[in-house]
Structure 1
Amino acid sequence: MRRTVALTALLSLVAAAAVAPDPAYAAAPAQWRPGTPPISTPWTAEVGPDNALPEYPRPQLVRNKWQSLNGVWQFAGAAEGEAPPFGADLSERVLVPYPIESALSGIQRREDRMWYKRAFRVPTRWQVGGDQRLRLNFGAVDYDATVWVNGTRVATHRGGYDAFSVDVTDALRPTGQQELIVGVTDLTDQTWQPVGKQRNVPDRGIFYTSASGIWQSVWMEPVAAGHIERLAMTPDLGDGSLRLTARAAGGGDLRVEAIAYNGNRVVGRASGPAGTELRLPVRNPKLWSPDSPFLYDLTVKLFDGSRRVDLVTSYFGMREVGTKRGADGKPYMALNGEILFNMSTLDQGFWPDGIYTAPTDEALRFDVAEHRRLGFNTIRKHIKVEPDRWYYWADRLGLMVWQDMPSMRTGGTPPEDARQEFERQLREIVEEHRSWTSITVWVPFNEGWGEWDRVATGRIADEVKAWDPSRLVNAHSGVNCCASHGDSGRGDIIDYHQYLGPASPVPSGDRVAADGEHGGLGLEVEGHMWFGEGHGYEMTPDRATLTERYVRNQRDLLAIANRCGLSAGVYTQITDVEHEVNGFYTYDRQVEKMDFGRVRDVNLAVVRSVDGTGANVPQPPPGTPGLTGVGHWPMDEGSGTVTADAAGDHDGTLVNAPMWTDGRAGSAVLLDGTSQYVDTGAAILDTTGSYTASAWVRLDSLGGFATAVSQDGDSHSAFFLQYSGADNRFAFSFAGIRALAPTAPETGRWYHLTGVRDLSTGSLTLYVDGQRAGTANACLGERSSGHTVIGRGRYNGNPVDFWRGAVDQVRVYDRALSAGEVAQLYATGG
């Protein structure tokens, strides 16, 4: 509590020291009018010209002299190539820093190009000029920005998610009003710029309203020519120190003196040249964790010779991020040397009134605080970068953060120049955010969005790890999903997505396993929706049902975590966003959609119960010995509508009149790829355990999916022994997970396919003609009470993937065959 009071007092003093805007040169507030959002948050009405995010914007590098430039600016849309409007008034008024598409901006429309303009005065007591400089700071401007002061171009910047600053001293007039103009171009998804979920035309799915122009705070501050530009801070528990680098501008003999405090008590000092890494001792440190988010205060002074030229205040937490092997031998994510399950939501950071910008600092804090209330200890900040004060609240309130890089648009392959720009911006975002205590994981790519090459993804993951070895790198969240180029094998985490899920990846080598997205359970709440109807991955009728489904989903997560060695689960999502209605809160943050007490209880139970011991992990029974199997259909009848089960009593019925044809040996069933299949009439396999399916198959055409053997689940087939049209390869699959053959098959040729599900190793393995062809991690399968079928699959409750060609000699086993047994089965023509 003492630490919280100290931090709050510090920032309150800074806010009090800020210079208030002068009404004599600010644009007339009466000319600004807020728009009306479809729905409003509890903070919408609190926003006005005099209180547009007035807090000091940069909590990790605080100076006591500063002036906010948030508030009402002049505004106009612009044409390509248009000259800056020097000396001219613009016709509209915009409230900075709310993006122009937002209601709070007062513009509430899209523009590809735009002008911002305002006047400002430099306080006389700052004595700017000569060695005393004036810096103009921008939290973020989306996307290409050019800044002029009094007609002089002082800065250009590209990138919608990182901050930039500029020394404007030499462009200032000696006295009086100064003219500030910012020109912005933001084409959003018309280009390959990083955009995250923004779209020029938002859809009624998972893409939302764009956020153009100035969307984070703007402020100015006086500094000496020699001044601190950035603090790079990394705690080191190994030697009980903070590794601190104060990067400084200006020449001369610049030296740093840093002092760390616990309240008013000095706990460590360090000094040395600016720009070099100092080791600031913090003996017997109080560790930062979600349960105890303790933070130390920090004062950093910069000296030019013997003269002090700068003083900034900051803070830091002492904690260590890594991995640790559990008693079950699997690697897990760890904090401060102890296994800690990362219980997370997907947090996309959108607002119905401010779009990308929270209406107030209290609103920004609210979303973070509610995670704690709900029993979460982690937030996955999903393909968006937040203002600094968001990370400040995560640090203070004790939330670990997985920080995504905002992705390029989906669809197609980005050109070389876009790839280079993506990587440049990724590095800048890592550098700007490397000192936040709360950030524990970097995520360069999401699913296949903007990814261009699997090898490049692995290289980028290695580079991020080299830039910041103190955190984990999740090379590719959702590597199993969508347009992913596949697992690069790099980074510290293997991450699957599955809706409704949870996903069930298993650790691979030294990489921990994570469910990077699951859930998405939806509920519409009348009067609190962006559109008239909403989308979820599974819709529920009421609050009680939604709560019950969530609790059941999290209990499934607990079972998977203990059985598969899972380190994290990310539930979609903390609030509704536009058309998506799968949040704990409605989009306006007005309605709690679940019983939060039950949510908290089950979340805390998961965190407490996942400890790396492999508790309650069932072992598969030995199964039936021999190569006969528990089901065998030789298909040697050559006529009729039934094929006998030579290993049991589950004869197969030919559905929709398949034909008979010459087989691999004897006859075979010929299927036309539209509606024909063979139904055994029973769920022959226990798909929660280990099992094997094999068949001789011939494809008469390539293209879409075709399934030779499967067993129906409630929604999807529990498994698919198939041809994957998406990959043009044979595969043994679960929904969303495929063990793939390395090469494409030929039509008209017989192949022997065997799919082995081994519960003890959490794997799927495909054999083609007796040889191992591909393997995939899959800890859990789908429970199945439906029939074992030949010649089709089941997906989203519907029959799909009908086989196009012949099938012969189908066998199923209630155990995982060994590689030797599969080879023997093939050699004997089985």
Structure 2
Amino acid sequence: MLSLAPLTRRRGSGARPAVLTAALSALLAAALATPVAAQTSGDGWEMGDPRLVTPWTDDVSQTNALPEYPRPQLTRKEWRNLNGVWEFAGASAGEAPPFGETLAERILVPYPTESALSGIQRHEDHMWYRRTVEVPPDWRVGKANRLELHFGAVDYAAVVYVNGQEVARHKGGYGAFSADVTDALNPSGPQEIVVGVEDRTDATWQPVGKQRRVPDRGIFYEGASGIWQTVWMEPVPTGHVDSLDMVPDIDTSTLRLTVNTQGDVAGTRVEATVRDGRRIVSRTTGAPGQPIDLPVPGAKLWSPDSPFLYDLDVVLKSHHRPVDRVSSYFGMREIGTAEGADGRKRITLNGEVLFLMSTLDQGYWPDGIYTAPTDEALRFDLEQHKELGFNTVRKHIKTEPDRWYYHADRLGLLVWQDMPSMRTGGRPPEPAQRQFEAELHELVAEKKNWTSIIGWVPFNEGWGEWSREATGRIAEEIKEQDPSRLVNAHSGVNCCDSLGDSGKGDVIDWHAYPGPAEPMPDGARVSIDGEHGGYGLEVDGHMWFGEGHAYRMLPDQESLTAAYVDNQRQVLSAARRCAISGAIYTQITDVEHEVNGFFTYDRQVKKMDFGQVRAVNEAIIRNADGSGDDGPAPDPGTPGLAGVHAYKFNEGSGTTAKDAVGDADATLTGTEWTQGVHEGGLSFAGAGEADTGRGLVDTAGSYTVSAWARLDEAGGGFQTVVSQDTGQHSAFFLQYSGQDQRWAMSFVGLRALSPTKPEVGRWYHLTGVRDAQAGTLELFVDGQKVDTKSACTADGSAGDTVIGRGQYNGGEVDHLRGDVDDVRIFDRALSDQEVAELARAGE
């Protein structure tokens, strides 16, 4: 039976959950204050009609749109929230700003225009927002203080005017920006704010993540245009604290703090106080703009099991007189890598191996699209990660408001932070490349203080990637910008539009569905499963489109839970045998047409038995401890170079090719006899095959496949020399890869490649070696090893071994155009010397 989620109330029907941690009292006090500036009249605003209603939809009104303090790591006592009802109008490119004009529609900020909560519920390429505010006289703006106007995020390009004067421009849908608007203010009375926004979504190369102008009923969703995070204003002194840089060092038990300032701070000093609740841990003074090491003696380390956070008070002083005062917090933790007990590189937290068990969290809502309806809703998804036994979240090609990371810090969740990708299809032009990099560095700069974030992910599955060399360079530049965290240069580097592994960064990341993926660490990088799972269940009345899809559909909660548990047991096997350091399950909730969540899209229904989910997840984290497991001892196989099956193609006539060693004669279809390397050979014209009638290779173990091959053409199509069917995809392919225009020994999503393109009409000796004990896949050309790939495990298969074609998605594909001679099958991994001897010896 499906379970209803715990929060199904409507507004006013029940109490809020209790606060789970005691730290950060100053921040909570600031959040409770929630001062809201007088706003545009709500007359004319109505919530749209959401397709699905979350437990928090009806909590949203024109007077309480996300009232919490929006910047928990830099709080001030005085501020005003500008969320609420604004005037709104669609616009045309180049249109003059509507200064002094009343706009026709009303929108609830900060919900995207496409969302039901906004009240607009449509996309506009160009749009205007307008409202007026009054500045409290006791803020003394224009005398002792300045006024700053802050935007959490506006998608995509924004220009801001105050009283008809331009005060800010910002490009990028995920970054925060601010403006000192003091000089644009009227002496008193209402102050007019007008915001112009352009968002063409995937009609351009701007970073968009999963947003699309037209959702595809697949893995791309509704757009989220305009203001989608909190807008607020605050008074600041003429010389004031602008931002903090915080880097914990658990080895020295210190926090390296840099207090960045704006305005005239000549002659000022910084006083920083670290507190554990009411107890003062240390008090240190230093210069603004310079690193200050704050002692944290006997530091309480932050971890998922104990997410302890220290409070931090920073005072900017001039001649011992306070000029500015801000509050913050931090956690003492260190993310790194080290060898496990098995000698293979693993991810560590605070010097100890920790397996990062994560979900894919896309941060979409049926009522608010990109913006959670309430702060309680924002926190809910993270709380459920803990309930389900996860210790990590992958924030998937989207960013979140600061309070999301604040909740992750307090709850004890590690975060992989993706960069929102550009659109798929093609390669971006140079200006788009530069803009993408600028927005990526902005993201890292803005989010580098969150304790929960432990890794940056610039690219996903090649979406928007333009060159492998650029991907490697970007990974190195992000590491230089933030050396305290891991850099996962390319999640799903084995998949889709990827241009291949740059070899850079700290992480090797593969995707596999249902998987899990099993990349192995190399000498410099750890490995993780970046996406797996995706098991789905349709729940009537709780689907965006009324029906949905997943990587594998199940009929009910019991079978869905069983599939998940079995899949996760394979994750543990991959952690012990293949040394993956983490795994990411797709996904925490359904999203639009995808129905592979633990929750329905509306967060109303639990789709699995959460007790079983938690138990298997905790078992993985507990037992994936770096001790390793080499698996069963390998079968030594049959000695010699004759092989266990061999096809010399010397018959010269008929429809059967004799197995010269075993008893698996091959049936020929659509082939012709021809001259081979030594005597006879077999010719294929793009439609033939030689089917041996059964599986000759134990593809779960070690084996070797060799053949002489000559191509008639070498273009963009794949051509397979030898493969073994599974009913779905070939278990292996000894082939010509048209995508790479190289010889290859391949698994689906993995290729060991020759360094050069083969010549048409020339005979090559090809050997593919699968060493299950070493976890490798190797390609030899003319007796020389040319490439080795990590391939920890492989599934067994029972389909026929076939010469001249492959199998993909159940179909017969990649037919050879060329000739083949002397195909041999071995039930063991040949050594380098044996392969060289085999290539020299011929028949």
**Same-fold call, TM cutoff 0.5:** yes
- Counterpart-to-counterpart distance in 2, 1:620 and 1:614: 17
Query: What residue is the counterpart of 2:9 in the other structure?
Result: none
Q: 1:533-575 CA distances to partner (integer Å, 9 max, x unpaired)?
A: 2121112222222111111111111111111111011111111
Q: What is the CA distance between 1:3 and its match in structure 2?
A: 9.8
- Counterpart-to-counterpart distance in 1, 2:302 and 2:517: 30
Aligned AA (2:43): A
- Counterpart-to-counterpart distance in 1, 2:813 and 2:453: 43
- Name which of 476, 482, 493 aligns with 1:479: 493
SS of match in other structure, 2:508: strand
Q: 1:467 to 1:3 in 2, by over 3 A?
A: farther
- 1:196 corresponds to 2:212: no
- Counterpart-to-counterpart distance in 1, 2:411 and 2:568: 23
Query: What residue is the counterpart of 1:15 in the other structure?
Result: 31
- 1:663 corresponds to 2:676: yes
- 1:284 corresponds to 2:301: no
Matches within 5 A, 1:600-611: 600-611=614-625
Aligned AA (1:683): G
CA contact (8 A) 2:24 2:311 kept: no
- Name which of 393, 400, 410 aligns with 1:379: 393
Aligned AA (1:157): H
- Name which of 541, 552, 568 aligns with 1:554: 568
Aligned AA (1:81): G
CA contact (8 A) 1:641 1:657 kept: no
Q: How does the TM-score come out when normalised to structure 1?
A: 0.97
CA contact (8 A) 1:226 1:254 kept: no
- 1:684 corresponds to 2:700: no
- Name which of 52, 57, 76 aligns with 2:65: 52
- Counterpart-to-counterpart distance in 1, 2:621 and 2:698: 30
Q: 1:402-428 CA distances to partner (integer Å, 9 max, x unpaired)?
A: 001111111222222221111111111
Q: 1:778-807 CA distances to partner (integer Å, 9 max, x unpaired)?
A: 111122122222122222233222222222
SS of match in other structure, 2:732: strand
Q: 1:40-71 CA distances to partner (integer Å, 9 max, x unpaired)?
A: 11111111111100000000001111110000
Q: What is the CA distance between 1:683 and its match in structure 2?
A: 2.1
Query: What residue is the counterpart of 1:769 in the other structure?
Result: 782
- Counterpart-to-counterpart distance in 2, 1:659 and 1:140: 65
Query: What residue is the counterpart of 1:743 in the other structure?
Result: 756
- Name which of 242, 248, 267 aligns with 1:253: 267
Q: What is the CA distance between 1:396 and its match in structure 2?
A: 0.5
Matches within 5 A, 1:589-628: 589-615=603-629, 617-628=631-642
Q: What is the CA distance between 1:713 and its match in structure 2?
A: 2.4
Query: What residue is the counterpart of 1:221 in the other structure?
Result: 234
- Counterpart-to-counterpart distance in 1, 2:494 and 2:32: 51
Q: What is the CA distance between 1:8 and its match in structure 2?
A: 6.3
- Name which of 641, 649, 653 aligns with 2:655: 641
- Counterpart-to-counterpart distance in 1, 2:269 and 2:701: 65
Q: 1:58-91 CA distances to partner (integer Å, 9 max, x unpaired)?
A: 0000111111000000000111111110110000
- Counterpart-to-counterpart distance in 1, 2:429 and 2:233: 37
Q: How does the TM-score come out when normalised to structure 2?
A: 0.96
Matches within 5 A, 1:324-403: 324-403=338-417
Q: 1:603-648 CA distances to partner (integer Å, 9 max, x unpaired)?
A: 1111111111113533322211110111111121112222221221
Aligned AA (1:624): T
SS of match in other structure, 1:658: strand
Q: What is the CA distance between 1:465 and its match in structure 2?
A: 0.8
CA contact (8 A) 2:34 2:68 kept: no
- 1:182 corresponds to 2:195: yes
- Name which of 590, 612, 630 aligns with 2:644: 630
Q: 1:188-239 CA distances to partner (integer Å, 9 max, x unpaired)?
A: 1121111111111111111111111100000011110111111111110110
CA contact (8 A) 1:699 1:804 kept: yes
- Counterpart-to-counterpart distance in 2, 1:262 and 1:276: 24
Query: What residue is the counterpart of 2:80 in the other structure?
Result: 67
Aligned AA (1:768): V
Between the two proteins, the alignment pairs up a number of residues equal to 825
Q: What is the CA distance between 1:273 and its match in structure 2?
A: 0.7
Q: What is the CA distance between 1:304 and its match in structure 2?
A: 2.5
Aligned AA (1:11): L
Q: What is the CA distance between 1:126 and its match in structure 2?
A: 1.4
Q: 1:719 to 1:5 in 2, by over 3 A?
A: closer
- 1:541 corresponds to 2:555: yes
Aligned AA (1:735): V
- 1:581 corresponds to 2:595: yes
- Counterpart-to-counterpart distance in 1, 2:814 and 2:608: 38
Q: What is the CA distance between 1:714 and its match in structure 2?
A: 4.7
Aligned AA (2:707): A
Q: 1:714 to 1:393 in 2, by over 3 A?
A: farther
SS of match in other structure, 1:664: coil
- Name which of 400, 418, 424 aligns with 1:410: 424
- Counterpart-to-counterpart distance in 2, 1:254 and 1:33: 50
- 1:463 corresponds to 2:467: no
Q: What is the CA distance between 1:516 and its match in structure 2?
A: 0.7
Query: What residue is the counterpart of 1:698 in the other structure?
Result: 710
- Counterpart-to-counterpart distance in 2, 1:338 and 1:155: 46
Q: Tell me the C-alpha RMSD between the 2 structures.
A: 1.5
- Deviation larger for 254-263 or 533-542: 533-542
Q: 1:680-713 CA distances to partner (integer Å, 9 max, x unpaired)?
A: 2222222112111011112223332121111222
Query: What residue is the counterpart of 2:839 in the other structure?
Result: 826
Q: What is the CA distance between 1:595 and its match in structure 2?
A: 1.3
SS of match in other structure, 2:605: coil
Q: 1:25-52 CA distances to partner (integer Å, 9 max, x unpaired)?
A: x222131011112111111111111110
- Counterpart-to-counterpart distance in 2, 1:12 and 1:320: 26
Q: What is the CA distance between 1:18 and its match in structure 2?
A: 4.0
Aligned AA (2:832): A
Q: What is the CA distance between 1:169 and its match in structure 2?
A: 1.0
Q: Which ranges of structure 1 fall in alignment gaps of 5 or more residues?
A: none
- Counterpart-to-counterpart distance in 1, 2:711 and 2:537: 44
- Counterpart-to-counterpart distance in 2, 1:614 and 1:61: 43
SS of match in other structure, 2:22: helix
Matches within 5 A, 1:27-46: 27-46=40-59
SS of match in other structure, 1:463: helix
Query: What residue is the counterpart of 1:502 in the other structure?
Result: 516
Query: What residue is the counterpart of 1:733 in the other structure?
Result: 746
Q: Among all aligned residue pairs of Structure 1 and Structure 2, give the percentage whose two residues are the same amino acid.
A: 63
SS of match in other structure, 1:636: coil
Query: What residue is the counterpart of 1:116 in the other structure?
Result: 129
CA contact (8 A) 1:624 1:814 kept: yes
- Deviation larger for 751-760 or 793-802: 793-802
SS of match in other structure, 1:233: strand
SS of match in other structure, 2:510: strand
Q: What is the CA distance between 1:5 and its match in structure 2?
A: 4.5
